[in-house]
Each structure stands twice: as structure tokens, then as C-alpha cells.
């Protein structure tokens, strides 16, 4: 087996997406899912491939593909942002799992984070992943996922806090909030999330600031300087989910009680799902990390 860097190319982006689809579909089956996993929407396919190309360009030392007999069997995509190392994707094709491919990939991706005091991974419920991350020195914080149809009438009242649409001109504000909440800005990932077409909501008042990205029904990333502002942003974002689209609020640790309040008020259902794996920091709050950009 060899490891090679991921290239910023359409063909590597497709290869990475196909490995991820095979690995995560098989995981759903192992977790007891009956019936087929729904096909990803065109927006989800585009976002997945755009992520790979973006990280291959910004973090070439952190993005690896494992090949066996000339065939790609696994991948790991890692990023570094202002002293924070993050793992964006880690998967191995089902027929190659359990043979040490994941260990090798994670070792390479983790070596890219040498010198970073903080690390973050949005971990799936896969027990093999939990084992790998724990062995790499990460603490596992169980997370909840909320899904369902939003009950618009039951969502909390806005309470006079103005929320407006954001764009690339807000980059400095967004990075400042990131630094306060998780110790490092997202830097180029903000422009990337906007390029993908995610809707950006911003709050900027004398009492504090915050932002939230939404893609279709999914709350992608949310950070704020107070729980009150975070709750306001989440409420607004859920209220903007198109009618008939299932809403998903994921990666919610026990520290994000403000998010639990909003999700349950809005009629979403709670379930346990995966972990937030952290090294060198406590769960940031108020914060809902993005799996891909953390």
C-alpha cells in the first residue's frame, strides 16, 4: 500500500467522494439502518467535491489517499487554521477496513498537525473511528443530532435582536468570533462556504456578534459570543429552512443547552450520534461545528 497526496483535481474529488459514500453507507448498514441510504442531493455532491479541492489546495500536506494495487481505498483530509488542527474527512472502503489502512492515513494526517496545540474532529458513531481518535490523544464528547420538520409557530420569538444576511465583507467579523469561541479563525474556509452557496446569517450588536451557515435543511456551522445570540441565529436559520425540507442540527454536545432548547421548541427529534473529539481544548460554546470545516 502507498499513500499519495490528494490533488486539486476533478478526478481526485470524485474518488474521495466515492470512497466516502461507500464507507458511510456501509456504516449506516452496520448501525442497523434498514432500507437504502437516500442518494445525496446535487448540492451535497457539489459541496463534497468542492471541499476536497479546497483542502487539497489550502492544506496539501494534510490530504492523503491510500492506494492498493493502483486502486484508491481510503482517504484522510486534515486542515490547520491558526494553531488548530482539524480532521475534515477520514474513511476507508468497506472491503479494505480493519487492516490498518485507517491507522496509516490518520498517522500522516496527524503529523501535519505537529505544533498545533488544539485539535478537533467531528466523529461518526463508528467504534473503529472512536478507537483511532482516542489512541491519538483525543477526548470523546458524545453529541446529539436533531432532525424533523420545523414547527414555525412554536419557534422562540426573535426578541428584538436583528439578524441579517452576510457575505465576504464580513470575513474579519467571522474570524474574530471564531477566535473568541474556538481559539482560531476559519480563514479561507469562510470564502469557501460562501462559494458553495451556503446562506450566511450574521448578528452584530453592541452586546456581541455571531454567525450561522445553512445549506438546504442543514445547519452547517454556527458560532457566537453569547448563548442568547446563538439561540437567535439558530432560530432564524431554522425558520428559513424551505417548507417540506427536513431540518438537521448536528454535532450538539451537552454544553450547547441553548441549541437543545431551540431544537426541541421547534419540534425536532433528538438522537445520540457520534462524538466531538477534542485535544487541547474543552467543547467550545456557543458553537455548532461543521464536520467538513470544523
Ligand X SMILES: CC(C)(COP(=O)(O)OP(=O)(O)OC[C@H]1O[C@@H](n2cnc3c(N)ncnc32)[C@H](O)[C@@H]1OP(=O)(O)O)[C@@H](O)C(=O)NCCC(=O)NCCS
Interface ranges with ligand X (CB under 6 A): 23-24, 27, 90-92, 97-103, 123-124, 126-129, 131-132
Q: How far is the CB of 92 from ligand X (least distance, A)?
A: 4
- Comparing CB distances to ligand X, the nearer of 131 and 164 is 131
- Comparing CB distances to ligand X, the nearer of 62 and 210 is 62
d(CA 217, CA 240): 9
d(CA 258, CA 249): 12
- Comparing CB distances to ligand X, the nearer of 136 and 230 is 136
3-state helix, strand, coil in the chain (%, to 5): 40, 30, 30
Tell me which DSSP letter residue 193 carries.
Answer: H
Q: Are 64 and 76 a contacting pair, CB within 8 Å?
A: yes
- Comparing CB distances to ligand X, the nearer of 136 and 249 is 136
d(CA 49, CA 9): 9
Taking residue 61's Cβ as centre, other Cβ atoms within 10 Å add up to 13
- Comparing CB distances to ligand X, the nearer of 24 and 265 is 24
Q: Give the residue closest to ligand X by C-beta.
A: 102
Q: How far is the CB of 31 from ligand X (least distance, A)?
A: 10
Q: Are 264 and 292 a contacting pair, CB within 8 Å?
A: no
Q: How far is CA 161 from the centre of its chain?
A: 27
- Comparing CB distances to ligand X, the nearer of 127 and 160 is 127
Which residue(s) pair with 254 in the sheet? Answer: none
Among 62, 219, 80, smallest CA distance to 145 is for: 219
d(CA 16, CA 13): 5
H-state helical runs in 86-126 = 101-111
Q: How far is the CB of 20 from ligand X (least distance, A)?
A: 8
Give the Å distances, CA to CA, from 44 to 48, 198, 241, 278: 6, 11, 16, 26
Q: Are 225 and 287 a contacting pair, CB within 8 Å?
A: no
Q: How far is the CB of 199 from ligand X (least distance, A)?
A: 26
Give the Å distances, CA to CA, from 277 to 80, 82, 201: 16, 18, 27
- Comparing CB distances to ligand X, the nearer of 123 and 262 is 123
Q: How far is the CB of 291 from ligand X (least distance, A)?
A: 8
- Comparing CB distances to ligand X, the nearer of 104 and 193 is 104
Amino acid at each position: 500500500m502507498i499513500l499519495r497526496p490528494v490533488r486539486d483535481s476533478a478526478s481526485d474529488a470524485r474518488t474521495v467522494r466515492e470512497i466516502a459514500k461507500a464507507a458511510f453507507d456501509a456504516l449506516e448498514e452496520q448501525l442497523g439502518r434498514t432500507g437504502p441510504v437516500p442518494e445525496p442531493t446535487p448540492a451535497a455532491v457539489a459541496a463534497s467535491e468542492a471541499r476536497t479541492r479546497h483542502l487539497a489546495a489550502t492544506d496539501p500536506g494534510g490530504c492523503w489517499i491510500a492506494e492498493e494495487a493502483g486502486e484508491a481505498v481510503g482517504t484522510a483530509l486534515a486542515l490547520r487554521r491558526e494553531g488548530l488542527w482539524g480532521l475534515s474527512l477520514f474513511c476507508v472502503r468497506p472491503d479494505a477496513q480493519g487492516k490498518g489502512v485507517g491507522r496509516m492515513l490518520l498517522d500522516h494526517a496527524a503529523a501535519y498537525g505537529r505544533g498545533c496545540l488544539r485539535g478537533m474532529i467531528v466523529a461518526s458513531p463508528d467504534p473503529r473511528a472512536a478507537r483511532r481518535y482516542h489512541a491519538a490523544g483525543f477526548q470523546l464528547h458524545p453529541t446529539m443530532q436533531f432532525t424533523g420538520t420545523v414547527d414555525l409557530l412554536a419557534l422562540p420569538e426573535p426578541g428584538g435582536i436583528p439578524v441579517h444576511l452576510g457575505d465576504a465583507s464580513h470575513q474579519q467579523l467571522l474570524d474574530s468570533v471564531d477566535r473568541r469561541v474556538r481559539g482560531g479563525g476559519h480563514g479561507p474556509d469562510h470564502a469557501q462556504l460562501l462559494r458553495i452557496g451556503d446562506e450566511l446569517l450574521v448578528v452584530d450588536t453592541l452586546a456581541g456578534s455571531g454567525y450561522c451557515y445553512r445549506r438546504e435543511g442543514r445547519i452547517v456551522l454556527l458560532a457566537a459570543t453569547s448563548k442568547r445570540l446563538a439561540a437567535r441565529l439558530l432560530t432564524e436559520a431554522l425558520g428559513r429552512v424551505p417548507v417540506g425540507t427536513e431540518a438537521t442540527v448536528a454535532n450538539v454536545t451537552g454544553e450547547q443547552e441553548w441549541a437543545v432548547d431551540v431544537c426541541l421548541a421547534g419540534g425536532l427529534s433528538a438522537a445520540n450520534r457520534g462524538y466531538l473529539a477534542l485535544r487541547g481544548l474543552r467543547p467550545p460554546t456557543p458553537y455548532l461545528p461543521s464536520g467538513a470545516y470544523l
